Amino acid sequence: MAVTIKDVAKKAGVAPSTVSRVIADSSRISLATKKRVRKTMKELGYHPNINARNLAVRSSQAIGVIMPSSADKALQNPFFPEVLRGIGAFAHETEYSLYVSTGESDNTTFEEVQRMVNGHRVDGVILLYSRNNDPIQQFLVEKNFPFVIVGKPCENESEITYVDNNNFKASKELTSHLIELGHQHIGFIGGSLELSVTTERLKGFQAAMKEYDLSLSNEYIIHTEFLKSGGSKAVEQLFALDKPPTGLVVTDDLMTLGVIHAIEEIGRRCPADVSLTSFNNLYLSEITNPPLTTVDINIFQLGFQSARCLIDLTKNKNEPAKRIIVPYEIKYRQSTKPLS
Amino acid sequence: MAVTIKDVAKKAGVAPSTVSRVIADSSRISLATKKRVRKTMKELGYHPNINARNLAVRSSQAIGVIMPSSADKALQNPFFPEVLRGIGAFAHETEYSLYVSTGESDNTTFEEVQRMVNGHRVDGVILLYSRNNDPIQQFLVEKNFPFVIVGKPCENESEITYVDNNNFKASKELTSHLIELGHQHIGFIGGSLELSVTTERLKGFQAAMKEYDLSLSNEYIIHTEFLKSGGSKAVEQLFALDKPPTGLVVTDDLMTLGVIHAIEEIGRRCPADVSLTSFNNLYLSEITNPPLTTVDINIFQLGFQSARCLIDLTKNKNEPAKRIIVPYEIKYRQSTKPLS
DNA sequence: TTGAAAGCGCTAACAA
DNA sequence: TTGTTAGCGCTTTCAA
DSSP result, B274-306: -EEEEES--GGGGSSSSPPEEEE--HHHHHHHH
Task: Return all residues near A275 (Cβ < 8 A) that are at least 6 apart.
Answer: A178, A181, A183, A246, A247, A248, A293, A335, A336, A337, A339
Nearest residue in chain B measured CA to CA from A94: B112
Region B254-268 average pLDDT: 90
The confidence score (pLDDT) of residue A218 equals 92
Amino acid at B85: R
By Cβ distance, the residue of A60, A85, A99 closest to B70 is: A85
Give the residue among B108, B122, B301, B69 at the shortest CA–CA distance from A99. Answer: B122
Region A143-161 average pLDDT: 94
* Residues present in chain A in total: 340
Chain A: give the shortest CA distance to residue B53, in Å.
Answer: 9
CATH 1.10.260.40 in chain B, residue ranges: 5-48
The confidence score (pLDDT) of residue B229 equals 62
Mutate to test the interface with A, among B289, B300, B304, B333 (most CBs of A within 10 A): B289
Asked whether the beta carbons of residue B258 and residue A287 sit closer than 8 angstroms, the reply is: yes
Higher pLDDT, A105 or A165: A165
Which secondary-structure segment (H or E) carries B127?
strand B124-127
CATH 3.40.50.2300 in chain A, residue ranges: 62-165+299-327, 167-297
What are phi and psi for residue A191, nearest 5 degrees?
-85, -155
Amino acid at B26: S
Give the residue among B188, B192, B291 at the shortest CA–CA distance from B245. Answer: B188
Measured CA A2 to C1' C15 distance, in angstroms = 30
Position B72 confidence tier, pLDDT thresholds 50, 70, 90: low
Using one digit for the tens of pLDDT, what is the confidence trace for B218-248? 999 998 875 566 667 778 889 999 999 999 9
Percent of the residues in chain A that have a pLDDT greater than 70, as a whole number: 96
Which chain A residues are within 8 Å of B261, Cβ to Cβ? 287-289, 291
The confidence score (pLDDT) of residue B289 equals 87
The confidence score (pLDDT) of residue B237 equals 85
Position A74 confidence tier, pLDDT thresholds 50, 70, 90: confident
What are phi and psi for residue B301, nearest 5 degrees?
-65, -40
Burial class (CB within 10 angstroms; exposed 0-12, middle 13-18, buried 19+) of A98: buried
Most trustworthy range by pLDDT among A9-13, A171-175, A286-290, B29-33: A171-175
Report which residue is nearest nucleotide C2 when distances run from CA to C1'.
A18
Whether pLDDT at B183 is above 80: yes
The confidence score (pLDDT) of residue A72 equals 61
**Alpha-carbon gap, residue B84 to A81, rounded angstroms:** 10
Using one digit for the tens of pLDDT, what is the confidence trace for A89-122? 999 999 999 999 988 888 999 999 999 999 999 9
Whether pLDDT at A1 is above 70: no
Nearest residue in chain B measured CA to CA from A80: B81
Region A192-197 average pLDDT: 90
**CATH of segment(s) A62-165+299-327:** 3.40.50.2300
Using one digit for the tens of pLDDT, what is the confidence trace for B8-26? 999 999 999 999 999 999 8
Task: Return all residues near B26 (Cβ < 8 A) that are at least 6 apart.
Answer: none
Domain covering A167-297 assigned CATH 3.30.43.10 in the classification:
no
Whether pLDDT at A73 is above 80: no
Report which residue is nearest nucleotide C12 when distances run from CA to C1'.
B17
Which chain B residues are within 8 Å of A50, Cβ to Cβ? 119-121
What are phi and psi for residue B96, nearest 5 degrees?
-95, 155
Which chain A residues are within 8 Å of B284, Cβ to Cβ? 76, 254, 257, 284
Position B168 confidence tier, pLDDT thresholds 50, 70, 90: very high
Q: B51: Cβ under 7 Å from strand D? A: no
Report which residue is nearest nucleotide D2 when distances run from CA to C1'.
B18
Nearest residue in chain B measured CA to CA from A110: B92
Give the residue among A301, A50, A6 at the shortest CA–CA distance from A163. Answer: A301
Region B280-293 average pLDDT: 92
The confidence score (pLDDT) of residue A69 equals 82
Chain B: give the shortest CA distance to residue A81, in Å.
Answer: 6
Region A22-37 average pLDDT: 91
Amino acid at B219: E
The confidence score (pLDDT) of residue B159 equals 93
Mutate to test the interface with B, among A120, A287, A289, A335 (most CBs of B within 10 A): A287
Position B29 confidence tier, pLDDT thresholds 50, 70, 90: confident
Asked whether the beta carbons of residue B92 and residue A70 sit closer than 8 angstroms, the reply is: no
The confidence score (pLDDT) of residue A173 equals 98
DSSP state of A188: E
**Alpha-carbon gap, residue A331 to A295, rounded angstroms:** 6
Position B103 confidence tier, pLDDT thresholds 50, 70, 90: confident
Higher pLDDT, B152 or B102: B152
Task: Return all residues near A339 (Cβ < 8 A) that are at least 6 apart.
Answer: A181, A182, A183, A184, A246, A247, A275
Whether pLDDT at B336 is above 90: yes
Please, which residues bridge with residue A144 across strands?
none
Measured at the alpha carbon of residue B2, what is the angle toward residues B1 and B3, in degrees to the nearest 5? Answer: 125
Q: B16: Cβ under 7 Å from strand D? A: yes
**CATH of segment(s) B5-48:** 1.10.260.40
The confidence score (pLDDT) of residue B228 equals 60
Asked whether the beta carbons of residue B80 and residue A85 sit closer than 8 angstroms, the reply is: no
The confidence score (pLDDT) of residue A229 equals 61
Region A33-50 average pLDDT: 93
Position A214 confidence tier, pLDDT thresholds 50, 70, 90: very high
The confidence score (pLDDT) of residue B28 equals 84
- Asked if residues A180 and A208 have their Cβ atoms less than 8 Å apart, the reply is no
Q: What is the mean pLDDT of chain A?
A: 92
With H, G, I as helix, E, B as strand and everything else as coil, classify residue A255.
Answer: helix
Chain B: give the shortest CA distance to residue A213, in Å.
Answer: 35
Region A179-199 average pLDDT: 93
Higher pLDDT, B260 or B71: B260
Measured CA A193 to C1' D15 distance, in angstroms = 64
